[in-house]
Chains A and B, each alone.
Chain A
Amino acid sequence: MDAFLIQTLNGVVNGLILALVASGLTLIFGIMDVVNFAHGELFMLGAYAGVIWLAVTGNFWVALLAAAVTIAALSAVLQVVALRPLLGRDPLYTILGTFGISLVLQNYALWQFGPVPRKLTEPLTSHFRFFYLEYPYYRIVMALLSAAIIGALWAFLKYGKYGIWIRATTQDRVMAAAMGIPVPIVHTVVFAIGASMAAASGVLFGPLVGVTHAMGADWVLKAFVVVVVGGMGNLAGSILASIFISLLEAYASLIVSPAQAVIVAFIALIVTLLVRPTGLFVPTPK
């Protein structure tokens, strides 16, 4: 029973982190029709940036913010240089382009930081008493912070002039441009926002595992699954799907090894594609 409760908490915590990663991916796909294969690498670079900034400032939360901003800037440059030229073309090319970028980034990290995992020290090490269980405070904070960031994103999109610009561009980029909205700039900004969310997830998740050059690969695969299961371009759907899949995976790892538990996510994908390809958590399209 303890194990079940702990796994439930783990599932929710991991689910919220995954939601943070997947939201960025969904946002980018929704507005630009770009499947960002490099998203996992942005997660990974965010974690490394967190390590560096932590060493520089000594404060985890400052490092988190600094890492997010650094990666946002980097990805804005990346989008302008490598992705903008690809935007008009066949979606095949954006998949290939972001794949190429992910290869370069992953190996660059391996080159710069080496294969030994880096430690990202968590800011809180105490545990929280939950009935007769002990659960790390830090994980609770991770979950809350992820939820807060997603909430902030949602509020930004719903209210405010730029939120309207982003939503309009997502729905109809030609008409958005015809209304004077600077669509290419909106694209770059949204890409940077999505990237910074991935980076933040990387920093938050970093303390739980070592920070290595390959840590993004698993996440990006799961994030893709989430984006499809949640409904491509549907923000609320991908959040629900993230938690759902992470819970399933957490429970599955009670029975099989964690390496095998990942299949759960893939099975969810297949079921979705067979039964309800527009997304499990999407209301039936009218």
Chain B
Amino acid sequence: MLALHDVHTYYGKSHVLHGVSIEVGPGEVVGLLGRNGVGKSTTLKTIMGIVRPAQGRVVFEDHDMGGMPPYRVARIGIGYVPEDRRIFRLLTVLENLRTGLDRQGVTDARREALLEKIYVNFPVLRERRHQAGGTLSGGEQQMLAIARAMMLEPKVILLDEPTEGLMPRMVGQIHEIIRVLHGEGVAILLVEQNVPLTLEVSNRVYIMEKGVVRHHAPAAELRADHAVIHQYLGI
């Protein structure tokens, strides 16, 4: 459904991705692991069209996404939850959600239903819906960032280090959300530093090092393979 074929990406003169190939099938949870700075976030940004690949192809459901501007990428069904969450701090929680909710071709009834569903899954957002995004705690902002992406009803969600900086209790909540999304058939490409969580929720896992994919295996297999985990992730 979503595939990168031999993608090379540069930041200015810096060659960050050296031929990355990744696939995400419908409804799959795919993990992307690796140390800091290996190019995991850049991979997500390349998919979203935030950075342009110099070489290689990004394909989503028969759309070749070369050069597609990010807003089109979002509209064809890819949601993005970046590192640092990046919620709109000066907009209220509800307004943040509305940036995704107020789309074309969605009836008012469906909007209400979507919003309700989110509030059920994230009760704290209902409570704080008229508060400015910047006043929320770190964990709440993460909830909002994910909820916001869900407003697009995407087929794939790109999650960039959702548990970073969160208390252990919240990590459990993230785990739960991923489970719910998976249950609804939304595919997830999960970039993470938290290895145990990733191995638990994913179907397959890629491991990156210095801008290339070094290892690729089903999560079940990787859970037992301590040697590989130690080699690439240092744990």
A residues lining the B interface (CB < 8 Å):
161, 164-165, 167-168, 171-172, 174-184
Contacts and interface: CB of A to CB of B under 8 A. Distances in A.
A179 B100 contact: yes
B71 A183 contact: yes
Question: Which of B70, B75, B152 counts the most A-chain CB atoms under 10 A from its CB?
Answer: B70
Question: Which of B98, B102, B149 counts the most A-chain CB atoms under 10 A from its CB?
Answer: B102
26 contacts: A164-B91, A165-B102, A167-B88, A167-B95, A168-B95, A172-B88, A174-B70, A174-B86, A175-B82, A175-B86, A176-B71, A176-B99, A177-B50, A177-B69, A177-B71, A178-B48, A178-B71, A178-B74, A178-B82, A179-B71, A179-B74, A180-B74, A180-B152, A181-B71, A183-B71, A184-B69
Contacts of A175: 80, 82, 86-88
Interface string B70-93: 110111000010100011111100
Contacts of A178: 48, 50, 70-71, 73-74, 80, 82
A40 to B, nearest CB: 30
Interface string B36-76: 00000000000010100000000000000000011101110
Contacts of B69: 177, 183-184
A161 B75 contact: no
Given A175-B82, A177-B71, A181-B71, A164 B50 contact: no
Contacts of B90: 167, 171
Contact of A168 (B50, B88, B149): B88
B103 interface: yes
Contacts of B71: 176-183
B148 interface: yes
A184 B49 CA distance: 14
Given A174-B50, A184-B69, A179 B89 contact: no
Contacts of A167: 88, 90-91, 95
Contacts of A168: 88, 91, 95, 99
Contacts of B99: 164-165, 168, 176, 179-181
A198 to B, nearest CB: 25
A165 B71 CA distance: 12
Contacts of B89: 171
Interface size class of B (residues with CB under 8 A): 20 to 34
Question: Which of B74, B89, B98, B99 counts the most A-chain CB atoms under 10 A from its CB?
Answer: B99
B88 to A, nearest CB: 5
Interface of B: 48, 50, 69-71, 73-75, 80, 82, 86-91, 95, 98-100, 102-103, 148-149, 151-152
A174 B84 CA distance: 13
A180 B86 contact: no
Contacts of A165: 99, 102
Given A168-B88, A176-B88, A183-B70, 19 more contacts: A161-B102, A164-B99, A167-B91, A168-B95, A175-B80, A175-B82, A175-B86, A175-B88, A176-B99, A177-B69, A177-B74, A178-B50, A178-B73, A179-B148, A179-B149, A180-B74, A180-B75, A180-B99, A183-B69
A161 B98 contact: yes
A167 B87 CA distance: 12
A195 B60 CA distance: 39
6 closest A-B pairs (Cβ-Cβ)?
A177-B70, A180-B74, A177-B71, A161-B102, A178-B80, A179-B99
Given A172-B86, A179-B152, A164 B95 contact: yes
Question: Which of B71, B74, B82 counts the most A-chain CB atoms under 10 A from its CB?
Answer: B71
Contacts of A177: 50, 69-71, 74
B91 A171 contact: yes
A181 B70 CA distance: 9
Nearest to A171: B88
B58 to A, nearest CB: 15
A175 B71 CA distance: 9
Contacts of A164: 91, 95, 98-99, 102
Contacts of B95: 164, 167-168
Contacts of A182: 71
A183 B70 CA distance: 9
A178 B68 CA distance: 12
A175 B100 CA distance: 11
Nearest to A180: B74
A171 B86 CA distance: 10
